[in-house]
Amino acid sequence: MKEKTQVEHLNESLYDFRFDEDDADRFESGITPQIIREIAEEKGDPDWMRDFRLKSLEIYNKTPMVDWGPSIEGLDMSQIVTYIRPKTRMRTDWNEVPDDIKSTFERLGIPQAERESLAGVGAQYDSELVYHNVRREVAEQGVVYTDLESAMHDERWADIIRTHFMKLVPPTDHKFAALHGAVWSGGSFVYVPKGVHLDIPLQSYFRLNAKGAGQFEHTLIILEEGSYLHFIEGCSAPKYFVASLHAGCVELYVGKNATLRYSTVENWSKNMYNLNTKRAIVEEGGKVEWVSGSFGSHVSYLYPMSILHGRGARAEFTGITFAGEGQNLDTGAKIVHAAPDTSSYVNTRSISKSGGISTFRSAVQINENAHGSKCSVSCESLMLDSQSRSDTIPAMDIRTNRADVGHEAKIGRISDEAVFYLMARGLSEEDAKALIVRGFADNVSKELPLEYAVEMNNLIGIEMKGSIG
Amino acid sequence: MEHNNAIQINLLASPTWRHLKMNYAEIAREEYTETLTPSAVIPTGMTVSEPHGAAPFRTGGGEELSALLDRSGVSETVFTASESVNEPLRLDYDFTDGTNAAHRVGIAAAPHTAVTAVAFYTAAHDAQGRAAIQTRLDAAEGAKIHFIQVIRVGADFALVNDIGTTQAEGAQVELTQLYLGGGQVYGGAFAELAGYRSHFQNDIGYLLKGSESLDINIHTSHSGQKSACDITAKGVLSDRSRKVFRGTIDFLRGAAGAKGAENEEVLLMSEHAVNQTLPVILCAEEDVEGSHGASIGRLDEDTVFYLMSRGLSRESIDKLMARAKIETVMRHIPDQPTLDRITGMIGGNADE
Amino acid sequence: MAHLLEIKDLHVSVEEKELLHGVSLDVKAGETHVLMGPNGAGKSTLGYSVMGSPRYAVTSGSIVFDGEDITALSADKRAKKGIFLSFQAPVEIPGITLSSFLRSALEQQTGQRIKLWDFKKRLRETMALLQMDESYAERELNVGFSGGEKKKAEILQLLMLRPKLAILDETDSGLDVDAVRTVSQGIHEFQKNPENSLLIITHNTRLLASLSVDKAHVLVGGRIAAQGGAELVDEINAAGFEKYLTVE
């Protein structure tokens, strides 16, 4: 086992960077109304937003910590620096981006990816959006892809943001939603007009790069009737010794007959507390497709929620979670059927290894009015050793008989026969197992764009190193 | 929400979102004031004892329920099989005159013996009150206990049916439960599968109507290697009835070769029935196989059309299918007098 | 003889796709008809429509049975009037034995209770006639039955329920010799009543060799492409459907 760690380190460095943060401002640890006012002042918030932040802080202080799921005792909120802002301003030209930040992104492959197929890149470095570019043809179609702060000050978008911001995930939802409402910073605003079908995906990378820093980016996406968008969110973060917190928020409004695909491959550093909230509301005939890979972080609470609000609305959730050493990843999905003829399909895989804990947690609610609804949930778990843990906690609450609900779950291990078969064809035991695990994860990898699927398979390869005890 | 006058029972071992209100059930904290012993037909080969102070054992109902029964000073009757018995032990609880009654029962099987026990829990349809029965099934090495429970109390009655099993090497416990009615019925079972190749089988059938509610919490704890469980719940919800099913298969580290399966089929006959299902698998051992499946909904169109094409009306199809759910559970009952009594209760017409 | 089944210009759609485009077909009491056609011609659609499956929407035309328009009747009412459809894929019903199901169905049909003794006796006799093992009766309806066993159970239901018109849908496809014999015996038994009518839906004609056929219909692309007597069966046997496919 030990001699393998070097290899592991080498490979992980691909995804693990760190830079000095000498040019960044930093507020004191801990959150007071004064800090919130300073943030609002600094960002030039409109009055309503400043008041919203202060109200959210009040809710935060009143809301108890979660009492189920993985422990977050290691997270000392008074130590979290909630707001780090690099001195760099918005850039429209890649040449103007500072070199150290640029090199980070280069190692992440952003410029290349952009050249290849990106419509636009909104890459968040610490808490500010430092680089932003939307390709001309996308803008010409009337698609808005910008950071939320700029949009909030643009009179064309100010109203729409005010009427949608944290309306789907209100600060009262849970403690970290309240925290987010108080200190949110950076993130994306996407607006796709009626009937516009974006063929190329929009991408956004988030990075967290300051010691003890929290990250609270907000993503607000609005799809008008009959439009289509694929949004890709990617994360990776360097390692630090002080506990780090990510409490972002994603709000997706999917209009009538519109389709939104939201893909994430997340690889936060292994000391991160990832307490992210993602939610979509889908109108008549619309569809949301979640594709989600969770590989990083120390602790995750992540359950993208789909509210099927209009007749015939649909949701699909495809997910993979890989919990390795020191990780406790509690992930899953929530579906609410709130209209007739709605359908949902949840398909997840989870893998536990080297003492990692993965929990699949879900809730499906079918309301009394959701006649003719269909729901199918399928989850499979793979245990790679007996130091690890894998739990499956699916809840179903069905309030109409005019619905079809199916659920199945399986838990097990890699079959010895399969490993033997591959070894008999010349693969090492390690490669054989990695191959099987990649196959197990193909529900997600086949839904991702090629370059992401490749990256995910690399991540699995790295995680599988040293798996032979 | 916790109230001072309520206790939490049937707790989920791994709680989930509170807003779902599925993590536990609540019953009144008030003590039970009467001890109700069943009328019993004891087969030769079994002995009866009344130990002082029940040995603590884990049940599906949970610690607060056991503490309540302790506080209430509930007595225990233990039936022990020291040799295999051919005739079932028959217990009959009639709660009609017991408005606040409780009892503890133990059924123990000595090594390599086999015993079948049948218990009826009934009350007149208009009887009001509450009762709690806690049953311990103790199967020694290689022993086999088949415990059959049939429950039907009235719409104004609250009944707690709480079970704990301990199972040594090669021990088998088969628990067959029919819930045929009751205002508020709580069914808890905890199976301690510590023995090598110990086996727990649970077949549950239920028919709920009116505003009846049934809250079930099954938890199997696999610490024994190659231990296995097989849990099946099938039932029908009509009118405004509601049912919660929590089923937890818990594979502890070291339970190599263990297997567990749970399956649920819920037939919803009414637009206003509420079904809540939480089938949980907890796993800390690599070498296990666990699965659960659930299918919830109304009768599928193909089945309805097939039966209608043979001349059955929509109404009679519902009755037939409800009966079918119960019949599949009745197949696990080997005792004809018990089957006859159940048929009488559900108004059977097949064989008279 | 009087008309038993009259299908008039029947148009049938599934999920807004029309599968039958105006089919007319008459079956008189006592007649045996064969409905042939290639896969996907709409043969089963016709069978399901006559039985009244809610999945198949009759958009125009009518179905008259025994002088009464049954186009709007539910399947159970049609069954009570004497229509029987043997299914290609009978549904499995756990918990209900074949025996208790048949008794329920008979009681529903006649509206009165049937004495257990009388019922069992008739069931035993019918099963003996079909050379079916008596243990079938106590097995759960179609649960775990092989394809052949399911077909036998359908024929048993046909003889027990005593309809006036039996529609046998692909009853002979994919069966072993034993099951084909059971089906043939069942049909002969059913035909012993000179008032009984049969509509046999098939795309192969193996079963038909031993039957006397009164009329044959060829269905192609949701339309009747040809109608005739028993000679049409021989023609299809020899030449297949190509001739009618090119007409399309």
ipTM of the complex, rounded to two decimals: 0.90
pLDDT mean over C97-120: 86
Query: What's the rounded Cα separation, in Å, for the pair B204 and B179?
Result: 8
Q: Are the C-beta atoms of C163 and C187 separated by less than 8 Å?
A: no
Q: Identify which of A106, A131, A457, A444 has the alpha carbon closest to the alpha carbon of residue A263.
A: A444
C22: left (phi over 0), alpha (psi -120 to 50) or beta: left
Asked if B294 lies within 8 A of A381 by C-beta distance, the reply is: no
What are C187-238's pLDDT values in tens digits? Answer: 889 999 999 999 999 876 666 667 788 999 999 999 999 999 888 888 887 8
- And the tokens for A162? 């005010």
Q: Which of B20, B274, B291 sits opposite A395 (nearest CB)?
A: B20
Asked if B274 lies within 8 A of A389 by C-beta distance, the reply is: no
Q: Beta strands A389-398 and A373-383: pairing type?
A: unpaired
Q: Is the pLDDT of residue C129 over 60?
A: yes
Q: Identify which of B90, B98, B47 has the alpha carbon closest to the alpha carbon of residue B72.
A: B98
In chain A, which residues have their Cβ closer than 8 Å to the Cβ of B283?
381, 383, 389-392, 411
Query: What's the rounded Cα separation, in Å, for the pair B299 and B317?
Result: 9
A381 interface with B at CB cutoff 8 Å? yes
Query: What pLDDT shows up at residue C207?
Result: 64
Q: Where are the domains of chain B?
A: 6-351
Chains B and A touch (3+ CB pairs under 8 A): yes
In chain B, which residues have their Cβ closer than 8 Å to the Cβ of A391?
14, 280-283
Chains C and A touch (3+ CB pairs under 8 A): no
> Backbone phi, then psi, for B193, in 5-degree steps?
-95, 75
A30 interface with B at CB cutoff 8 Å? no
DSSP one-letter string for A130-145: EEEEE-HHHHHTT-EE
Q: Identify which of B193, B172, B201 has the alpha carbon closest to the alpha carbon of residue B255.
A: B193
Q: Is the pLDDT of residue C54 over 90?
A: no
Query: What's the rounded Cα separation, in Å, for the pair A74 and A298?
Result: 10
Q: Which of residues 256-315 of B touch C (CB under 8 A)?
A: 301-303, 305-314
- And the tokens for B101? 């009654």
In chain B, which residues have their Cβ closer than 8 Å to the Cβ of A384?
286
What end-to-end distance do the CA atoms of chain A give, in Å? 6
Q: Which chains touch B (3 or more CB pairs under 8 A)?
A: A, C
| Chain B / chain C CB contacts < 8 angstroms | 80
Query: What pLDDT shows up at residue C171?
Result: 61
Displacement of CA B312 from its chain's centroid (Å): 33
**pLDDT digit of tens for each residue in chain A (469 aa)?**
333 333 333 333 333 333 344 434 444 446 788 888 888 888 889 999 999 999 998 998 888 877 788 888 877 766 655 444 443 444 445 565 556 545 545 555 544 444 333 333 444 444 444 445 555 667 888 898 887 888 898 889 999 999 999 999 999 999 899 999 998 887 789 999 999 999 878 877 554 444 444 478 899 999 999 999 999 887 654 444 455 788 899 999 999 999 999 999 887 777 788 999 999 999 999 999 999 999 888 999 999 999 999 999 999 999 999 999 999 999 999 999 999 999 999 999 999 999 999 999 999 999 999 999 999 999 999 999 989 999 999 999 999 988 999 999 999 898 887 887 777 777 878 888 888 888 898 888 888 877 778 777 877 877 787 554 4
Query: What pLDDT shows up at residue B300?
Result: 85
Q: Which helix (H) or strand (E) holds B253?
A: none
Least confident of A143-147, A363-367, B165-169, C49-53: A143-147
